[in-house]
Amino acid sequence: MATLFSSGLFLANTFSNAFESGWLHDLLNTIVGAAIGSGVTIWALYRTFKHDQRKEEENRIRFQIEKVRYFQSIVGTINTDLEEQIKHYKSYAEIIRNNPVELPLLTKIPLNEVDRIVNKINHENYYHAYLDEFGNHHASVNEFREIISTINYFDGNLTIIKESLDKSINFNYDRQITLKSIIDMAIDDAAELINNNNILLNHKELWDFVNQHMFDFHNKKVEDYDLQFYFEHFLEPMKEELMKFARTIPEAHHLITQLKKAITLYHTLQLHNLNVAKEFEQWHETMLIEHNQFQEHTRRLLSY
């Protein structure tokens, strides 16, 4: 017991002497300072971490808003361009009906933004950005899906319309070339009939008619190869008058055969092109309904 007391007294004296000498005081100050410094460092790191988190979230939100704004810009352009293109479908049908033997080129509005949404942007990324801005609920989900679905619908129809019209234009072009060739042959046959002395001597009435008809036709003839003009001023009136000579004069019968072939092809062209006009009237009606629905689906986005 005395030994323990002596040891304790020794330690007490040692600490007292150490404290008085200053080194223990300095050690304690160092430890406390280090602890405070560590605490300040941890607090600073914590604040930096929270600031970085907040900054990252702010950047994420800003990026999502920018994506929605970009999506809004694309959809707005599609809305305007589609409206213009659909109007051209109606006017195109009217142009064809005014002259159904011709099939002009369709006025096309560049619809690059449709292709951009269908084939280039990441739908999932824009889907989440859309829901972040407009609310992650059933109405917003359906709204976004309807927007994408309708744009896909337009893209598919635009492709179908282009391919169908390309085929129709090629059909029309080939038939026009054939028709012009037949008309040219009929004109040559009429000229040969005028130069036929047998017709002049033995069938004066036929010769007078063909000669006068060709004279009048060439005086009225326009520079452009207008098939409607050829039909109205050469094919149809020539055929009607020649019918009374067809049974008795072989040359008249041959010319009538050429004229009938041209007239049949002319009506085939008309019928085909009028069907094209009808298709574009239907496309106008169908696409207009879809476009009106598209405007409803995008109303909230475009007013964002």
**pLDDT: is 219 or 30 the higher one?**
219
Can you give the pLDDT at residue 119? 93
Q: Considering the domain boundaries, does residue 22 fall inside one? A: no
User: What is the arithmetic mean of pLDDT over 86-102?
Assistant: 96
Is the pLDDT reported for residue 18 higher than 70? no
User: Could you tell me the CATH number of the domain that includes residue 102?
Assistant: 1.20.58
- In terms of pLDDT, which residue wins out, 18 or 208? 208
Tell me what pLDDT residue 2 has: 46
In a domain, 200, yes or no: yes
Give the pLDDT of residue 29.
57
Does the residue 74 lie in any domain?
yes
Tell whether the model's pLDDT for residue 91 goes beyond 70.
Answer: yes
Asked if residue 32 is part of any domain, the answer here is no
- Percent share of the chain, pLDDT over 90: 70
Whether 39 is in a domain gets the answer: no
Q: How many CB atoms lie under 10 A from the CB of residue 166? A: 10
16 has a pLDDT exceeding 70: no
Q: Name every residue whose Cβ is closer than 8 Å to that of residue 140 and which is 6 or more positions away in sequence.
A: 130, 131, 134
pTM of the predicted model as reported, rounded to 2 decimal places:
0.76
pLDDT at position 65: 87
Instruction: Say what the pLDDT of residue 21 is.
Output: 54
**Binning pLDDT at 50, 70 and 90, where does residue 4 land?**
very low
- What's the pLDDT tens digit per position in 166-203? 999 999 999 999 999 999 999 999 999 999 999 999 99
- CA geometry: angle at 257 spanning 255 and 259, to 5°? 70
Q: Is residue 226 part of a domain?
A: yes
42 against 204, higher pLDDT:
204
Please give the residue range of the domain that contains residue 216.
64-304
Residue 100: is its pLDDT beyond 90? yes
Q: Is residue 252 part of a domain?
A: yes
As a whole number, mean pLDDT of residues 213-242 equals 89
Domain count, the chain: 1
In a domain, 43, yes or no: no
pLDDT-derived band at 145, boundaries 50, 70, 90: very high
Query: What is d(CA 260, CA 257) in angstroms, rounded to the nearest whole number?
Result: 5
What's the chain look like in SS3? Answer: CHHHHHHHHHHHHHHHHHHHHCHHHHHHHHHHHHHHHHHHHHHHHHHHHHHHHHHHHHHHHHHHHHHHHHHHHHHHHHHHHHHHHHHHHHHHHHHHHHCCCCCCCCCCCCCHHHHHHHHCCCHHHHHHHHHHHHCCCHHHHHHHHHHHHHHHHHHHHHHHHHHHHHHHHHHHHHHHHHHHHHHHHHHHHHHHHHCCHHHHHHCHHHHHHHHHHHHHHHHHCCCCCCHHHHHHHHHHHHHHHHHHHCCCCHHHHHHHHHHHHHHHHHHHHHHHHHHHHHHHHHHHHHHHHHHHHHHHHCHHHHCC
